[in-house]
Amino acid sequence: MSVLEVPAGPPAPDEDAGADAPHVRIAIVGTGFAGLGLAIRLKEQGIEDFVLIERGDEVGGTWQANTYPGCQCDVPSHLYSFSFALNPGWTRTYSRQPEIWSYLRNLAADHDLYPHIRFGHDLTGAAWDDERQRWNVSTSRGAWTAQLLVDASGPLSHPQVPRIRGMGSFKGKMFHSAEWDHDHDLTGERVAVIGTGASAIQFVPQIAERVGQMHVFQRTAPWVLPHSDRPTTRLERRLYKRLPFLQKMVRGGVYCSRESLLLGFIKNPNIMSGAEKIAAAHMRRQVKDPVLRRKLTPKFRLGCKRVLISNSWYPALTRPDVELVTEAISAIRGNTIILADGSAREVDTIIFGTGFHVTDPPSARLVRGRDGGSLAERMQSGIQAYLGATVEGLPNYFKLIGPNTGLGHNSMIYMIESQLNYVMDALRVMDEQGYAEFEVRPAAMAAYNAQIQSKLPGTVWMSGCASWYLDAEGKNTTIWPDFTWRFRHRTRRFNTRAYIMRPPVDARAPAQAVA
258 near 411, Cβ under 8 Å? yes
Q: Are residues 85 and 148 in the same domain?
A: yes
Comparing CA positions, the residue from 445, 456, 452, 455 lying closest to residue 498 is: 445
Give me the pLDDT at residue 156, please.
85
Residue partners of 56: CB distance under 8 A and separation at least 6: 31, 64, 65, 119, 120
pLDDT band at 270 (very low <50, low <70, confident <90, very high): confident
Give the per-residue pLDDT at 426.
Answer: 98
514 falls within a domain:
no
**Stretch 227-243: mean pLDDT:** 97
Do the domain assignments include residue 475? yes
Residues written for the chain: 515
Amino acid sitting at position 57: D
Q: Are 281 and 172 in contact (CB under 8 A)?
A: no
Please say whether the beta carbons of 382 and 477 come within 8 A.
yes
* Residue 13 placed within a domain: no
Three-class HEC string of 2-29: CCCCCCCCCCCCCCCCCCCCCEEEEEEE
Q: How confident is the model at residue 307 (pLDDT cuts 50, 70, 90)?
A: very high
Position 508 confidence tier, pLDDT thresholds 50, 70, 90 = low
- Percent of all residues in the chain with a pLDDT value above 70, rounded to a whole number: 95
- In this structure, of 139-148, 200-209, 468-477, the range with the lowest mean pLDDT score is 468-477
Residue 233, domain member (yes or no): no
One domain, residues 430 and 301: no
Are 441 and 481 members of one domain?
yes
Percent of the chain surpassing pLDDT 90: 83
Nearest of 317, 278, 276 to residue 295 by alpha carbon: 317
Task: Give helix 412-433 / helix 33-44 axis angle, nearest 10°.
Answer: 40
Same-domain check for residues 403 and 342:
no
Mean pLDDT of 385-399: 97
Q: In this structure, is residue 257 part of a structural domain?
A: no
Name the E strands within 266-312.
Answer: 308-309
Q: What is the pLDDT of residues 452-472, one digit of tens each?
A: 999 999 999 998 888 889 988
422 and 446 housed in the same domain: yes
Same domain (yes/no): 371, 470: yes
Last residue of a domain, one of 352, 370, 388: 352
Query: Which residue range is the domain that position 172 belongs to?
Result: 167-222+262-352
Same domain, 318 and 441: no
Tell me the average pLDDT across 55-64: 96
Q: What is the pLDDT of residue 4?
A: 31
pLDDT score for 155: 86
Confidence category of residue 13, pLDDT binned at 50, 70, 90: very low
Q: Read off the CATH number of the domain in which 67 is found.
A: 3.50.50.60
Residues 421 and 329 in one domain: no
Q: Residue 280: is its pLDDT beyond 90?
A: yes
Does a structural domain hold residue 8? no
Residue 297 has pLDDT above 60, yes or no: yes
- Read off the pTM: 0.92
Q: Are 41 and 150 in the same domain? A: yes
What pLDDT is attached to residue 19?
61
Residue 202 pLDDT greater than 50, yes or no: yes
**Range of lowest pLDDT (392-401, 414-423, 461-470):** 461-470
Tell me which range, 17-21, 110-114, 368-372, 460-464, is most confidently predicted by mean pLDDT.
110-114
- Of 352, 370, 397, the position where a domain reaches its end is 352
Both 307 and 388 in a single domain?
no
Does residue 28 fall inside a structural domain? Answer: yes
DSSP H helical ranges for 340-483: 375-378, 412-433, 442-455
Q: Do both 195 and 328 map to the same domain?
A: yes
Domain boundary among the residues 352, 383, 401 is at 352
Any idea which of 242-256, 261-275, 308-322, 339-353 has the lowest mean pLDDT?
261-275
Mean pLDDT (the chain) is 92
Residue 228 lies in a domain: no
Q: What is the pLDDT of residue 507?
A: 62
* pLDDT, average across residues 77-88: 97
Whether 505 shows a pLDDT value over 70: the answer reads yes
Q: What is the pLDDT of residues 140-182, one digit of tens each?
A: 999 999 999 999 998 888 899 999 999 999 999 999 999 999 9
DSSP conformational letter for 343: -
| Mean pLDDT calculated for residue range 279-305 | 96
Residues 133 and 180 in one domain: no
Please check whether residue 251 is in contact with residue 88, taking contact to mean a CB–CB distance below 8 angstroms: no
Q: Domain count of the chain?
A: 2
